[in-house]
Amino acid sequence: MDLNDKVVIVTGGAGGLGEAYSREIVAMGGKVMIGDLLVDKAAAVAADLGDAARSQHLDVTDPDSWQDIVTATEEAFGKVTGLVNNAGASASGVRLIDESPETFRKIVDINLYGVFLGMRSVIPALRRADGGSIVNISSAAGMVGMALTGGYGAAKWGVRGMTKLSAVELAPENIRVNSVHPGMVLTPMTAPTGITLDEGGFPSAPAGRVGRPEELTGAVTYLLSDAASYTTGAELAVDGGWTAGPAMTELGQNSD
């Protein structure tokens, strides 16, 4: 499996999971355009990756910003064959009914409207490349009813649904659309919760621990690659079993 000849826009690639996806795309032979609000951090990642990477300011909630990054990518690399809609804003941590309308709208704007704008803006470029692959980053919170995620959970369910209907609509044009659902992964988004990579440190997941960003990259690069040529409308949980069911330890069982 490789990403030779692939040109992928990764949103939110200045750090965390988006940076890990960007690095792996280049390691597998692809080219990457990193879009983020954090232009200096995005530029530093791109510079570290060399000629196969570029960066560009992107606000996923701004349609003009999307047009700019599509144009910049085609100018730099000739075509666009993939999009990873990864940029996101974290959950507010309060009950849905306690979330302010302003916070709800802001979180949904980035996590759901931003994904819609991304698909809407990049699909014409994928058509010019005779097809492509869109990977929408949802969450475990888009697969189960996860308390205290508010607009975040609502948006991530929306991303999952939007992925499915777009997969159906775009299949005749050789454009595949799939969603990836990370569980708890140690990144700048989740670091403030105090989570660590310790074994047994996250008992809610059957794996017993949180994930490392590099444990998510294979799911994304697979879906971007030709190895996934018959895979569209799928949802791939990468969550240490969190959404599969309660951990054995939660049931009072251990591995003996």
# residues near ligand NAD by CB under 6 A: 29
Query: Contact region for ligand NAD (CB under 6 A) — 23-31, 43-51, 83-91, 196-204?
Result: 83-91
Distances (CA, A) of 8 to 106, 117, 164, 208, 209: 26, 16, 21, 33, 30
Is residue 139 part of the contact set for ligand NAD (CB under 6 A)? yes
Q: Output the six-digit token pair for 126.
A: 């994928």
Compare residues 156 and 176 and give the one whose CB is closer to ligand NAD: 156
| Between 174 and 190, CB nearer to ligand NAD | 190
CB distance 92 to 153 below 8 Å: no
Active-site residue, from 113, 152, 222, 230: 152
- State yes or no: residue 84 binds ligand NAD (CB under 6 A): no
Between 107 and 129, whose beta carbon lies closer to ligand NAD? Answer: 107
Binding mask 150-189 for ligand NAD (x = CB under 6 A): --------------------------------x-xx-xxx
**Residue 17 lies near ligand NAD (rule: CB under 6 A):** yes
**In angstroms, what is the minimal distance from the CB of 66 to ligand NAD?**
10
| 207 part of the interface to ligand NAD, by CB under 6 A | no
> Helix axis angle, 217-224 relative to 16-27, nearest 10°?
50
The Cβ of residue 198 has, within 10 Å, a number of other Cβ atoms equal to 10
Question: Kindly report the CA angle at 142 between 9 and 58, in degrees rounded to 5?
Answer: 25
Active site residue 152: yes
Q: How far is the CB of 156 from ligand NAD (least distance, A)?
A: 7
* Residues making contact with ligand NAD (CB under 6 A): 11-12, 14-18, 36-38, 58-61, 86-89, 110, 114, 137, 139, 182, 184-185, 187-190
**Residues labelled catalytic:** 152
